[in-house]
Amino acid sequence: MTGLSVTIITLNEEESIGECLDGLKWAGEVLVSDSGSVDKTVDICRSRGALVFNDKWLGFGAQKNLVASRARGGWILNVDADERVGPELRDEILKAISSGDADGYYVPRKNHFGGRWIRHCGWYPDYNLRLYRKDAGAFSERAVHEAVVVNGAVGYLKNPLIHYTYKDVGDYLDRMQRYSTLAAEQMKKDGRSATVFDLLLRPLATFLKMFVLKRGFLDGSVGITLSMLYAAYTLAKYAKLKEMKAVNRDREP
């Protein structure tokens, strides 16, 4: 045992989970929470030695906390099925957890779109807190955009997770439908509302931030595409929020 448990949540990840698990053989244990896969995801996980639990879907943050609660290791490394841990990051993680210098660590990510590493648009280094002491951290239980909150000191690792974010535009659009709905529901829960100005200005601000401020123009046509897609996502979540609020008003007596 390295004192480290890796946690993963899955749903129909047969195309990517095998390669993900192949890079985690050094970990003390790998725990997978699967929420109803109908492909070969579960079989692939078990064939790689992972402990698989069939769980009802609770939401991203709650699901990650559920699987972490079952870990035997004192440290948790949370990864997604489309992420890869290379040898350099592995060595850095093992050194970090043995040092006792911090209770959690931010890990950079090299995000890919269509197989290409995106260096700008705010996509790199894209630090995420993924490595943490089990007794010092947990995910915020939000419907989307969940993040680890650590009660203690945090540090930063240098070697990145390799993240194969989206296969193509179609993949982005398919997931945008789900994530924009979840984001709108979370904003509604938080008491947020959407105005005409949100619909007009927020998508434009998203585009300008990614393409200009985050220098997405240096990524060429892919930078334009990503900036426009994220603007569309921003429009979709605020439009859905406005629609949800309108439906509620119509139902009021």
Domain termination residue (choose one: 144, 165, 186): 165
User: What's the structural domain count of the chain?
Assistant: 2
Is 127 in the same domain as 201? Answer: no
Is 153 in the same domain as 188? Answer: no
Give helix 196-208 / helix 220-251 axis angle, nearest 10°: 160
Is 160 in the same domain as 177? Answer: no
Is 74 in the same domain as 95? Answer: yes
DSSP state of 159: S
Q: Which domain holds residue 210?
A: 168-251
pLDDT of res. 238: 98
Q: Rounded CA gap, 85 and 100, in Å?
A: 21
Whether the Cβ atoms of residue 71 and residue 51 lie closer than 8 Å to each other: no
Is 31 in the same domain as 108? Answer: yes
Q: How far is Cα of residue 73 from the mean position of the Cα atoms in its chain?
A: 22
Q: Rounded CA gap, 9 and 79, in Å?
A: 8
Is 161 in the same domain as 172? Answer: no
- pTM for the model stands at 0.92
pLDDT of res. 249: 65
pLDDT of res. 144: 81
pLDDT per residue of the chain (253 residues) written in tens, 0 to 9: 459 999 999 999 999 999 999 999 999 999 999 999 999 999 999 999 999 999 999 999 999 999 999 999 999 999 999 999 999 999 999 999 999 899 999 999 999 999 999 999 999 999 999 999 999 999 998 878 899 999 999 999 999 999 999 999 999 999 999 999 999 999 999 999 999 999 999 999 999 999 999 999 999 999 999 999 999 999 999 999 999 998 766 565 5
* 14 closest CA partner among 32, 37, 40, 34: 40
Is 161 in the same domain as 174? Answer: no
Number of other CB atoms surrounding residue 172 within 10 Å: 20
pLDDT of res. 2: 54
Is 134 in the same domain as 59? Answer: yes
Whether the Cβ atoms of residue 20 and residue 81 lie closer than 8 Å to each other: yes
pLDDT of res. 100: 85
Domain termination residue (choose one: 148, 165, 182): 165
Is 149 in the same domain as 193? Answer: no
Using the Cα atoms of residue 64, residue 110, residue 16 and residue 170 in order, give the sign of their dihedral.
positive
Domain termination residue (choose one: 130, 165, 200): 165
